[in-house]
């Protein structure tokens, strides 16, 4: 069921973003006096069609990985004298540039709206308090300590772990050290730590940049005491009771709920021996664990028990929430920051400074959609806003077939004083299509490798 939800949300997300992108082309073309013949969401075989009174054909096609608008154009068919003024190729080069750029522009506008709505709803984030410093890591060598709070990196204020990840991603493959400002739990003033991050990498073996940095967020130490038992679960069949404390699994000592989950999820379908404490007396019990598919499509073991909810310290979390007016500049800041980061990472990939394993395809996007679906509407809005930014950036790359390729043609037309020949444009389109095919194959390979891991 989780796979179905992921696929469904992927299709919905892509369809929304493609519709926004193509609507940008369509609306600006109409303002420029260009007639649109077809507005398509998807490619390939048409599965649904509607024709408006103006003759515009709106269609849904079988392959939902893109879309297009088809304009009246003399290069594709003969036009009457009455039709020619409404043809795309008859417009000035500056109108054609405006029409081409409108698609990516509308993706950025949509991202701004998504972030604006996200910030009005509110975003819950964890304060950047260090819980664990990995031995022998960059952070350990630099002198970071547990319970320190990271308050700034270089000149940027830090309010959450999300801010830290973004700052670290932006410094990948750079030789400049970071100046990190931290404050201890009993310190009134922050002090700085200079750390060399040039060795931080990001590849298929390391998908969380905090892992290489060497710090992890502070987490509550929840005791392994059962509060609820799921009906018809292995725990219910075994006869586990509320307030039972699990002391060990297969001889491995259990100190907290996190350790219990780690042992249970890795042992799906296996029979394990539990040592529990019930009313001060220890008992040994054997149970065959069940198996479930999680929201990432992976098989996990489960026992069917839940921990007692603990009251979370108020000073551990922050909630970013704004009114409709105050959310506008905050959303702009969010969009600008994510756009700058995306361009920075893309540039480093293209120049070979970092690997290409970060490129995700349809499977990766579907996984992301499935994961954020479990985190609420606010998280989904942030996700779809980020994907919209990526779609806008990719489309303005100077690759024929993409909007940026046509923009390149038009700029060359301005420089030459005349359009490129049809033969030259056709060669460019073939090259562009080959590049896109290679990128899709690479993204699909990365997706498959992540699934295998």
> C-alpha 265: how far from its chain's center?
25
**Of 258, 190, 262, 180, residue with least CA distance to 213:** 180
249-274 per-residue burial string, b: 16 or more CB within 10 A, e: under 16: beeeebebbebbbebbbebbeeebeb
Q: Tell me the helix, strand and coil percentages in the chain, rounded to 5.
A: 45, 25, 30
**Of 102, 78, 84, 82, residue with least CA distance to 30:** 102
CA angle 208, 299, 125 (to 5 degrees): 35
Catalytic site residue 22? yes
Place of tokens 């080069």: 93
**Alpha carbons 174 and 21: distance in angstroms, whole number:** 34
Longest pairwise C-alpha distance within the chain: 95
Residue pair 305/240 in contact by the 8 Å Cβ criterion: yes
| Catalytic pick among 22, 187, 211, 259 | 22
Length reported for the chain:
453
50-79 per-residue burial string, b: 16 or more CB within 10 A, e: under 16: eeeeeebeebebeebebbbbebbeeeeeeb
CB atoms within 10 A of CB 21: 27
Residue 431 tokens, joined: 């090259």
Residue pair 32/99 in contact by the 8 Å Cβ criterion: yes
| Positions marked catalytic | 22
């Amino acid at each position: 069921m989780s796979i179905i939800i992921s696929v469904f949300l992927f299709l919905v997300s892509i369809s929304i973003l493609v519709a926004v992108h193509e609507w940008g082309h369509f609306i600006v073309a109409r303002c420029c006096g260009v007639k649109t013949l077809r507005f398509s969401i998807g490619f390939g075989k048409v599965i649904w069609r509607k024709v408006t009174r103006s003759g515009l054909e709106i269609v849904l096609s079988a392959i939902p990985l893109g879309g297009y608008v088809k304009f009246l154009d003399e290069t594709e068919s003969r036009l009457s004298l009455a039709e020619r003024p409404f043809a795309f190729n008859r417009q000035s080069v500056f109108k054609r540039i405006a029409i081409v750029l409108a698609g990516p522009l509308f993706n950025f506008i949509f991202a701004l709206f998504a972030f604006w709505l996200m910030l009005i709803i509110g975003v819950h984030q964890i304060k950047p308090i260090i819980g664990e410093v990995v031995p022998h890591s960059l952070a350990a060598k630099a002198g970071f300590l547990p319970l320190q709070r990271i308050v700034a990196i270089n000149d940027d204020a830090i309010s959450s772990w999300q801010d830290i990840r973004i700052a670290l991603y932006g410094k990948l493959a750079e030789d400049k050290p970071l100046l990190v400002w931290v404050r201890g739990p009993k310190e009134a003033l922050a002090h700085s730590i200079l750390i060399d991050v040039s060795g931080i990498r990001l590849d298929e073996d390391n998908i969380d940049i905090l892992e290489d940095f060497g710090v992890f967020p502070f987490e509550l130490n929840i005791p392994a005491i059962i509060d609820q038992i799921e009906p018809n679960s292995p725990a219910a069949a075994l006869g586990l009771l509320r307030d039972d404390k699990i002391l060990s699994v297969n001889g491995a000592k259990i100190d907290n709920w996190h350790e219990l989950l780690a042992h249970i999820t890795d042992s799906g379908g296996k029979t394990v021996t539990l040592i529990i404490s019930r009313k001060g007396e220890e008992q040994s019990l054997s149970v065959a664990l069940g198996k479930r598919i999680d929201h990432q499509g992976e098989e996990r073991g489960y026992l069917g028990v839940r921990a007692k909810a603990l009251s979370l310290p108020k000073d551990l979390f922050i909630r970013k929430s704004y009114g409709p007016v105050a959310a506008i500049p905050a959303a702009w800041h969010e969009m600008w920051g994510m756009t700058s980061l995306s361009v920075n990472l893309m540039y480093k990939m293209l120049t070979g400074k970092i690997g290409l394993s970060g490129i995700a395809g349809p499977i990766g996007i579907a996984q992301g959609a499935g994961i954020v679906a479990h985190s609420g509407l606010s998280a989904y809005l942030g996700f779809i806003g980020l994907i919209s930014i990526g779609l806008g950036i990719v489309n303005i790359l100077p690759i024929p077939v993409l909007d940026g390729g046509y923009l390149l043609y038009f700029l060359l037309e301005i420089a030459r004083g005349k359009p490129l020949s049809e033969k030259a444009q056709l060669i460019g389109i073939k090259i562009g299509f080959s590049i896109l095919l290679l990128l899709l194959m690479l993204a699909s390979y990365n997706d498959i490798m992540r699934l295998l891991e």
